[in-house]
Copies of this chain bind each other. A is one copy, B any other.
């Protein structure tokens, strides 16, 4: 059952009984938070994830949240982000993915809603001076469009701009159909090679960029084989199969599906145009709140307006 997941919370099953991993779950209203911490190299190896923190924010109707809920989600996201940020220095937000493929456009869409301040710290009005944290942002595009790895572009920019941290936004592949557009994952481990909708060949991590990399991801696509497996799981649940039989049936399915090419099909919800817009707004608002702790939400709103 080798289906890749970008969400640490989905590896919970594999982690049962494993030392060096902690799980904590919080619920506030309809929002569920899962904090996974992979503390040892052994656990990291077993889960095929880097050591570090992985926090997911889930809400059954994340992408259809009413205005009030949307703001609650933005604030919950800001609360998750704040302790991961370095206390000083400019921040560089990197929007990954391909803006021309809606299902992969989350990164560039988040940037559209962000308050960019690095260039105006000195020229802004006196009342704001000294209260703006410098934020800059770039959506470098994907390898097939630019001929350059996102990591190459990001490295070059980091060396010139010298931010104290990078925040990378990316669309992910889900391993459970129900995760699509319902979960935001934040991690301090950066973007790993092979992850994301666009399958990054190189990572964006502290090792490659030289500064901490906080990654924010949302599952936007799912392999057809995952849908098939989720459906078969539902069917097998009632059959009283033991775990071994269950596993065998699943493996047979995935084998068959792969053999016929069905499994390679990657799909996204029909309404992806709308979903990506709504989720991008939540993330942008959460980032604006977390990155500008000395501004009120009203001040952020007014500056967003002026800047547009």
Contacts and interface: CB of A to CB of B under 8 A. Distances in A.
A56 interface: no
Interface of A: 66-67, 100-104, 111, 116-120, 134-141, 143-149, 152-153, 155-161, 177-178, 197, 221-222, 224-225, 227-228, 230-232, 234-235, 237-238, 249, 252-253, 256-257, 259-260, 262, 265-274, 301-302, 305-308
Contacts of A160: 152-153, 155-156
A235 B141 CA distance: 39
Given A138-B153, A156-B161, A270-B197, A119 B101 contact: no
A67 to B, nearest CB: 6
B161 A305 contact: no
Contact of A140 (B138, B158, B224, B252): B138
Contacts of A307: 144
28 contacts: A66-B306, A67-B301, A102-B102, A103-B272, A104-B270, A116-B145, A116-B147, A117-B147, A119-B144, A119-B149, A136-B146, A136-B148, A138-B141, A138-B153, A152-B157, A153-B156, A156-B158, A156-B161, A157-B157, A227-B228, A231-B253, A231-B262, A232-B232, A232-B253, A266-B270, A267-B267, A268-B269, A272-B272
